Structure 1
Amino acid sequence: MVNSPAPALARTLTLRSVVLFGLAYMTPMIVLGTFGVVADETGGTVPTAYLLALAAMLFTAHSYGRMAAAHPVAGSAYTYVRRAVDSRVGFLVGWATLLDYFFLPMVIWLIGGAYLHAQYPGVPNWVWIVAFIAVTTALNVRGIKTAERVNDLLMVFQILVIGIFVLLSLRHVVSAGGAGALASATPFANGATTATGISAGAALAAYSFLGFDAVTTLTEETLEPERTMPRAILLTALIGGAIFVAVAYTTQLAHPGSHFADSGSAAFEIAKVIGGDLFSSVFLAGLVVAQAASGIAAQASAARLMYAMGRDSVLPRRIFGRVHPRFRTPAFNVLLTGAIGLIALRLDVATSTSFINFGAFTAFTFVNISVIATFVRERRSGTRHGVLSYVVVPAVGAAVDVWLLAHLDGRAITLGLIWLALGVVQLAWLTRLFRKAPPELTLTEDERLPEPV
């Protein structure tokens, strides 16, 4: 009897699909959701913070592109570090990254529930959270193409709301100060601007860019990944950054300074001023849609990271390394991510968010290091790469990421180190007290490039 090949991920996604997926993960409207907080830190110069964050993230995006082209498989930072640096270090990076991938969907669902509960206080918050989880989980189990189609619709509405917000902001500025007021340097620098404030604001703004890296988890479902992935990563970072800077600039023009009744909901305050009650309701709908789109992308990425680690048997392979025979998705991992999201019922946004940045900046740092390690290793074997592309750019990226990591609040660092310590314990068990490498599955070419069904 001939054994049938194991189900594998279907390769169907194009450059457009992957970029839209990354932008949905980034959630373009997050620039408005966090506007008041960043304005407080920067003294009313939010676009400057986003420009600095964009410049910083482009260095790391470049490194992700290099590694995605060299290793066109699922796993993102976990796989890159494992193959370029060391299998044990790769495991710990993957473990740290789980904080980002596990808790980002939770934060997304929590924020979406909070928005809706504020508008409809008669409905318990847990109802909204469970509804978010149920819908995104069902879409992601059904398949990446189904999630992609829904994601496209949600992204169109989200971009439409952002566009209306920008236009209303510009109209408000012109009506108050004339057309000349549209060309102002005040959103970038004012009397309250300080280097410390801009740096702190950039560290916060960097959170908005989490997502350009997540597209690499879709590598095994992308057509021509060696060519498509590097382009998709840079395009996601550039397009997202351009949206952030443009929206921050027009919003800062409409509301100079950093004084709000509540910085946590500053965008609602501005929306009501520039568009009245009707637009503030539309704006709320846009924020909820943004959270739904981002939740789909975040949950899909978390499931695929666990799939890569399960396939390598660093997580139980029979559970995490399986693909649903019909839907060809890592269905158990999707369901597990949804179940973990129920923890949001007992947490607030601040607590759950504190888990995320530690894992993200740890992964960013080591992906940059992986590029340098690739340069050194392949140079010894006779393959030469450009020093600028493989040493200078990733070195700058690593330095920036370490700086961002060091500027996280104490709670984030403490929780991150505790999680990392648990990872060291798991690694010690897998490697018999570090005496052997963590297990890894060697893929055949057919398994790397499955045909869509």
Structure 2
Amino acid sequence: MPVTTFGYQQQLRRELRIRDLIAYGLIFMVVIAPFGIFGSVYQASAGMIALAYVVGAATMILTASSYGVMVEKYPVAGSVYGYAGRAIAPAVGFLTGWAILLDYVCIPLLLSLVAGASMNSIVPGVPIAAWVIIFVVANTVINVFGIRTTKLLNWLFLAAELVVLLIFLGFGLAAIADGKGHGFSLDPFYNGTTFSWSLILGAVSIGMLSYLGFDALGLLAEDAADGARTVRRAMYASLLLVAALFIAQTWVAALLVPDPAGLIANGDPAGSAFYDAAEVAGGPWLGTLTALATALAWGVANNMVAQVATSRLLMAMARDRQLPAFLARVSVSRSVPTNAILATAVISLGIGVWMAGRDDGITLMSAMVNFGAMIAFIVLHVCVIWDWVKNGRQGGVLRNVVIPVLGAGVLIAVILHAQLLAQKVGLIWLGIGALVLIFLLATGRRPALPEVPAGDDDTPTNRAVTEHV
């Protein structure tokens, strides 16, 4: 279904095939994402970190099903924002877009912060703030050159991450077989003496950060060569592949943790728990390699595609007149939303440099990202059911009712067991969004989405929104 059906011009170049979208998904989720937050999830799960990632994967598979339903019906770049606006009401779409903005706008600066902290541990002479600037500027330059450039770099970074992961798994399994660590055990999947669903759901609320990214493929619906069908298949494929890799690496690392009881009791303030486990497996060189890989994966590879997705969300909301119009302008020569990319970079630089000086900067950013994503996912499930009822209950009950109800239920349970900080920040952000919506309504700018074919000269979205850059 072409975007002209929804009143938009096809301005983005359809360059991405399914293999490219899978690469985007794997890069966005970061196949070595658990390296950076291993200690936090291990502590929260009382050592049952592999189980936390299994539950997280199941939750995301339910969510991917609802994404698949909606991207088939509304294959436009706004993702959940567009789905809620069309399936329920434009005002609901605005609030959903506002919620997911908390996720997408904060992701690039969170990635820069984590990468900066990792590089600072390797090169202490360079402050975290300086690394944040380096990562943000580098990714902005790459993305302004266009989708073809990021597509090529995606494959290079993905190959490098997979090589590092395979090295760790190989040395890790060999070390356990040689008697290092705690021997082969299924305790990271289940420990009857400490297990409780409350414990695991709390760990999932942290570990879910690793899975965020498959959903960003919905924002690339207008970049995909075969539209919705390609996006849907890529979502499932990337999610299942990365889930298997997450579970494998966390299981092996959990069996190599030098001091499990100490990690559970004291946490991982230095963020080095995974690198300590890698050092047990192969020596100091492997610990350094995994730390460097984390910095580059979070700071460059993941940051690069995060900026791509964020710019598409800003563009989608701006062309619907729910954000400033200049964010909707697309470069004719490069076929990218240049202004939205630059706006994302400015936000990442401003807040990222400020947060680099705070001890709780990464924790606060993580809380904001996770809460925004989970709220948006819950609305997504509601959209599937709402749209199914509104359009005469066409389609199966399993895919349109049962799975969305299960998915929303699990996500609500995860939010209720999340850190109090995440709940507070998320509710404050939603409150600000409600005030913005009231302002729009009071000034006669009621949220609305185009429903006429793109050829009508009076269509708002057909007015000049492109310029040569």
Q: TM-score, normalised by structure 2?
A: 0.88
Q: 1: distance between equivalents of 2:431 and 2:128?
A: 33
Superposed, 1:205-216 pairs within 5 Å as 205-216=207-218
- Asked whether the equivalents of residues 40 and 258 of structure 1 are also in contact (C-alpha less than 8 Å), the reply is no
Q: 1:440 aligns with which of 430, 449, 454?
A: 449
Q: 2: distance between equivalents of 1:281 and 1:309?
A: 42
Superposed, 1:313-332 pairs within 5 Å as 313-317=321-325, 319-332=326-339
Q: 1:239 aligns with which of 238, 241, 244?
A: 241
Per-residue deviation, 1:57: 1.3
- Asked whether the equivalents of residues 213 and 233 of structure 1 are also in contact (C-alpha less than 8 Å), the reply is yes
Q: CA 1:443–1:109 in structure 2 vs 1: closer, same or farther (change >3 Å)?
A: farther
- When the two structures are aligned, how many residues end up with a matched partner? 437
Q: 1:400 aligns with which of 382, 389, 410?
A: 410
Q: 2: distance between equivalents of 1:97 and 1:187?
A: 32
| Counterpart secondary structure, 1:394 | helix
| Counterpart secondary structure, 2:214 | coil
- Asked whether the equivalents of residues 51 and 241 of structure 1 are also in contact (C-alpha less than 8 Å), the reply is yes
Between stretches 414-423 and 391-400, larger displacement belongs to 414-423
- Asked whether the equivalents of residues 83 and 383 of structure 2 are also in contact (C-alpha less than 8 Å), the reply is yes
Q: 2: distance between equivalents of 1:7 and 1:224?
A: 13
- Asked whether the equivalents of residues 91 and 427 of structure 1 are also in contact (C-alpha less than 8 Å), the reply is yes
Q: 2:440 aligns with which of 424, 427, 430?
A: 430
- Asked whether the equivalents of residues 136 and 295 of structure 1 are also in contact (C-alpha less than 8 Å), the reply is yes
Superposed, 1:38-77 pairs within 5 Å as 38-77=41-80
Between stretches 69-78 and 257-266, larger displacement belongs to 257-266
Superposed, 1:95-106 pairs within 5 Å as 95-106=98-109
Match of 1:253 in 2: 255
| Counterpart secondary structure, 2:255 | helix
Q: CA 1:293–1:177 in structure 2 vs 1: closer, same or farther (change >3 Å)?
A: closer
Q: CA 1:6–1:41 in structure 2 vs 1: closer, same or farther (change >3 Å)?
A: closer
- Asked whether the equivalents of residues 7 and 324 of structure 1 are also in contact (C-alpha less than 8 Å), the reply is no
State the identity %: 33
Between stretches 346-355 and 164-173, larger displacement belongs to 346-355
Q: 1: distance between equivalents of 2:337 and 2:345?
A: 13
- Structure 1 residue 358 corresponds to structure 2 residue 371: yes
- Asked whether the equivalents of residues 202 and 418 of structure 2 are also in contact (C-alpha less than 8 Å), the reply is no
Q: Give unmatched runs, 5+ long, in structure 2.
A: 1-7, 356-360, 456-460, 463-469
Q: 1: distance between equivalents of 2:333 and 2:9?
A: 12
Q: 2:89 aligns with which of 77, 86, 90?
A: 86
Task: Report the AA paired with residue 301 of structure 1.
Answer: A
Q: 2: distance between equivalents of 1:306 and 1:60?
A: 22
Superposed, 1:81-230 pairs within 5 Å as 81-176=84-179, 181-182=183-184, 184-190=185-191, 192-195=193-196, 196-230=198-232
Per-residue Cα deviation, 1:203-245 (whole angstroms, up to 9, x for no partner): 2222211111111100000011221111111112211111111
Q: TM-score, normalised by structure 1?
A: 0.91
- Asked whether the equivalents of residues 180 and 256 of structure 2 are also in contact (C-alpha less than 8 Å), the reply is no
Q: 2: distance between equivalents of 1:49 and 1:91?
A: 32
- Asked whether the equivalents of residues 35 and 290 of structure 2 are also in contact (C-alpha less than 8 Å), the reply is no
- Asked whether the equivalents of residues 56 and 208 of structure 2 are also in contact (C-alpha less than 8 Å), the reply is yes
Q: 1: distance between equivalents of 2:332 and 2:10?
A: 6
Superposed, 1:289-304 pairs within 5 Å as 289-291=296-298, 292-304=300-312
Per-residue deviation, 1:148: 1.4
- Asked whether the equivalents of residues 140 and 296 of structure 1 are also in contact (C-alpha less than 8 Å), the reply is yes
Aligned-residue Cα RMSD (Å) equals 2.2
- Asked whether the equivalents of residues 275 and 288 of structure 2 are also in contact (C-alpha less than 8 Å), the reply is no
Match of 2:19 in 1: 16
Q: 2: distance between equivalents of 1:266 and 1:192?
A: 23
Q: 2: distance between equivalents of 1:253 and 1:404?
A: 26
- Asked whether the equivalents of residues 180 and 280 of structure 2 are also in contact (C-alpha less than 8 Å), the reply is no
Task: Report the AA paired with residue 12 of structure 2.
Answer: L
Q: 2:353 aligns with which of 339, 345, 359?
A: 345
Match of 2:5 in 1: none
Q: CA 1:445–1:22 in structure 2 vs 1: closer, same or farther (change >3 Å)?
A: farther
Task: Report the AA paired with residue 41 of structure 1.
Answer: A
- Asked whether the equivalents of residues 39 and 258 of structure 1 are also in contact (C-alpha less than 8 Å), the reply is no
- Asked whether the equivalents of residues 144 and 336 of structure 2 are also in contact (C-alpha less than 8 Å), the reply is yes
Q: 1:287 aligns with which of 289, 294, 318?
A: 294
Match of 1:451 in 2: none
Task: Report the AA paired with residue 429 of structure 2.
Answer: W
Q: 2: distance between equivalents of 1:108 and 1:91?
A: 26
Per-residue Cα deviation, 1:379-416 (whole angstroms, up to 9, x for no partner): 1xxx6210011000011111111222222222222222
| Counterpart secondary structure, 1:431 | helix
Q: Give unmatched runs, 5+ long, in structure 1.
A: 449-453
Per-residue deviation, 1:271: 1.6
